[in-house]
Amino acid sequence: MRRLRLLLLVLSGIGLWLGASIGAIAGDLSKVEKAEGFVSLFNGKTLDGWIGSTKGYSAENGLLVCRKKGGGNLLTAKQYGDFVLRFEFRLPPGGNNGLAIRTPRKGNPAYVGMELQILDNTAKKYANLKPYQYHGSIYGVVAAQRGHLKPVGEWNQQEVIARGTKIRVVLNGATIVDADLKGIKPLDGRKHAGLSRKSGHLGFMGHGARIEFRHIRLKDLAAK
């Protein structure tokens, strides 16, 4: 009888752990986040609520996956101005993607909106990039602090806070970008019309690598 009770307790614990894990992968919100006004941008099953390169991405086992032979710009159907965005991502060796913010649907988000780089900083092929091309950087504009990515293959947690002209990026608990775009001069010397945009789509910018995302949730700071 004792063995049976012990077995039932073990099985119950496994069931609870699996349920919690599946919920986290699917992007379920915590009670605290719900109370704070966060919503999930990905339901873990379909690409409902997303537009653009929907064939370059897929929903797989609760993950939003940028396909290796796919990618492109996958954008939210809704547009956002001031917000707090939280998500998790897992990079393969040499992985390259980008987070588009405040971008119109047409054009290169790195210039008509803003692109926050998503990159395996440790890859040898990226050893000679410009500082503003590494992970978390506002591409071409502001260089992010390096050294806070987890090893390739592990999940990273990122938060992006956009409030007016101020953009803050927090990676695995460390602030890697804290910039005020007002009057800023892009580091690449190019024209970035998107720096003056007040709102636009959010999304991912795939560049030929399988990169996985999960637990994508957002708080719209303009919402009442």
Per-residue pLDDT of the chain (224 residues; tens, 9 = 90+): 555 454 444 344 444 333 433 344 445 789 999 999 999 999 999 999 999 999 999 999 999 999 999 999 999 999 999 999 999 999 999 999 999 999 999 999 999 999 999 999 999 999 999 999 999 999 999 999 999 999 999 999 999 999 999 999 999 999 999 999 999 999 999 999 999 999 999 999 999 899 999 999 999 999 76
Of 204, 219, 216, give the one whose Cα is nearest residue 72.
204
Return d(Cα 144, Cα 146) in angstroms, integer.
6
- Give residue 28's pLDDT: 72
Identify the pLDDT of residue 172.
98
Q: Which residues contact 170 (CB under 8 A, 6 or more apart)?
A: 158, 159, 160, 161, 176
Structure tokens at 50: 């997303």
With a CB cutoff of 8 Å and minimum separation 6, the contacts of 51 are: 74, 75, 76, 77, 105, 201
Q: How many residues does the chain have?
A: 224
pLDDT of residue 25: 43
Asked whether 148 and 126 are in contact (CB, 8 A), the reply is no
Q: Return the amino acid letter for 105.
A: R
Residue 224 has a pLDDT of 60
Q: Is residue 92 within 8 Å of residue 211, measured between CB atoms?
A: yes
CATH code: domain of residue 206:
2.60.120.560
What are the E-state strand segments in the chain? 39-40, 50-52, 57-60, 63-66, 72-80, 83-90, 96-103, 114-119, 155-163, 166-171, 174-180, 200-206, 211-220
Reported as type and span, the H/E element at residue 106 is: none
Q: Is 74 exposed, middle or buried (0-12, 13-18, 19+ CB in 10 A)?
A: buried
For residue 110, report the phi and psi dihedrals to the nearest 5 degrees. Answer: -65, -20
Domain around 133:
2-220
Count how many domains the chain has: 1
CA 84 to mean position of chain CA atoms: 11
Helix (H) or strand (E) holding 126: none
Q: For residue 50, what are the β-bridge partners?
A: 76
